């Protein structure tokens, strides 16, 4: 899968869920020269420091997984943070890569880039064909800008500077190193924490945000990392044949969707909470459906390996082992 195991690779965002999974997979596949920096060591929003870092390191490849992420609540509460942080991070990293002769870069986006009422499943060419879901518009616009930045650098400099900047759009991700905040995180880790804490205090019920009727697609981050590395290491001709110069991103998803209500029942069973589910329709649902068309990855003979139930069990195990000590003082008003 790896074309050059001796390449000097920068994984931006290695402390996060996606970046850490890519880092683990690269090591598993035999990559020996992986460079990482925590946000305390290098603020990717600082152009001067990013430029100096890239000039000093002279990377061969970059995986741009660094981002500010969160669920519907966080996107609604902190729209300025989401658009500013993400625009600054990706702009600095992509431009510094170009200026310092990085030949290959993979930008990781999000399925929220597609219109709220896009036909299902969502093909790559549906991008910019309609209005975005308002609850995550700032984040989505930042991610669209990242795609278009990679495309624009390719269009202007691929021949003269031999660059190859690619983009992948994952569906809703979950897994190790997820954000288990009960309101600011994404749906699976948020439900895991809230059901666990409800079990501890013998709550009668747990409120689930939204009607529970919307459909969502989920993918374990370990599968996402494997697909990302596969796409990064495709021969350039293969990647070009799969994409278009101004529609160059590739969807990565499971191809399966489930209602939030059915998802909540699965998490409830795995956690062992015995109380009732109550759905709070006063909270926003977001897009009615978000199923990605995965024809391109199917042509590459790639399919996810981890089932949703197994993945949630692994996430709960991770929560119990690595996170639980920091969340013992829970807020009973959540239930």
**Contacts for 316-320: CB closer than 8 Å, 24+ residues apart:** 316/192, 316/196, 316/270, 316/271, 318/175, 318/176, 318/177, 318/178, 319/180, 319/189, 319/192, 319/193, 319/196, 320/196
Kindly write down the DSSP assignment for every residue of 115-165, as one continuous string. Answer: BTT--SSB-GGGTTSSPBPGGGHHHHHHHHHHHHHHHHHHHHHHHHH--EE
Nearby residues of 201 by Cβ (< 8 Å), 6 or more positions away: 330, 332, 335
Nearby residues of 70 by Cβ (< 8 Å), 6 or more positions away: 78, 82, 179, 184, 185, 186
The reply to whether 63 belongs to the active site is no
Please give the DSSP secondary-structure letter assigned to residue 212.
S
Question: Among 174, 199, 170, 202, which Cα is nearest to 188's?
Answer: 174
Burial of 254 (0-12, 13-18, 19+ CB in 10 A): buried
d(CA 277, CA 209): 11
Q: What are the tokens at 262?
A: 């059915």
Could you say which of 63, 114, 139, 153 is catalytic?
139
d(CA 329, CA 240): 51
Which residues are known to be catalytic?
A: 139
């Amino acid at each position: 899968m790896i074309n050059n195991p001796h390449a000097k690779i920068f994984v931006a965002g290695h402390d996060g869920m996606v970046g850490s999974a890519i880092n683990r997979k690269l090591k598993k596949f035999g990559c020996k020269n992986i460079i990482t920096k925590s946000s305390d060591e290098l603020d990717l929003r600082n152009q001067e420091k990013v430029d100096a870092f890239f000039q000093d390191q002279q990377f061969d490849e970059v995986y741009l997984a660094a981002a500010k992420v969160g669920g519907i609540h966080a996107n609604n509460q902190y729209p300025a943070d989401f658009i500013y942080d993400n625009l600054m991070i990706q702009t600095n990293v992509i431009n510094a890569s170009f200026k310092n002769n990085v030949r290959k870069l993979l930008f990781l986006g999000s399925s929220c880039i597609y219109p709220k009422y896009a036909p299902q499943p969502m093909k790559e060419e549906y991008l910019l064909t309609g209005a975005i879901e308002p609850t995550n518009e700032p984040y989505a616009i930042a991610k669209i800008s990242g795609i278009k930045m990679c495309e624009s650098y390719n269009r202007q400099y691929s021949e003269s500077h031999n660059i190859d900047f690619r983009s992948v759009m994952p569906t809703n991700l979950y897994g190790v190193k997820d954000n288990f905040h009960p309101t600011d995180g994404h749906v699976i880790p948020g439900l895991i924490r809230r059901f666990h804490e409800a079990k501890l205090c013998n709550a009668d019920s747990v409120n689930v945000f939204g009607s529970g009727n919307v459909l969502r697609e989920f993918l374990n981050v370990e599968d996402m990392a494997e697909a990302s590395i596969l796409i990064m290491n495709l021969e350039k001709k293969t990647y070009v044949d799969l994409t278009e110069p101004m529609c160059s991103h590739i969807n990565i998803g499971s191809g399966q969707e489930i209602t939030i209500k059915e998802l909540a029942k699965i998490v409830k069973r795995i956690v062992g909470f015995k109380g009732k589910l109550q759905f709070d329709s006063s909270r926003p649902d977001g897009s009615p459906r978000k199923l990605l068309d995965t024809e391109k990855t199917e042509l590459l003979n790639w399919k996810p390996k981890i089932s949703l139930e197994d993945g949630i069990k692994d996430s709960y195990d991770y929560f119990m082992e690595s996170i639980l000590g920091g969340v013992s003082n829970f807020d009973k008003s959540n239930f």
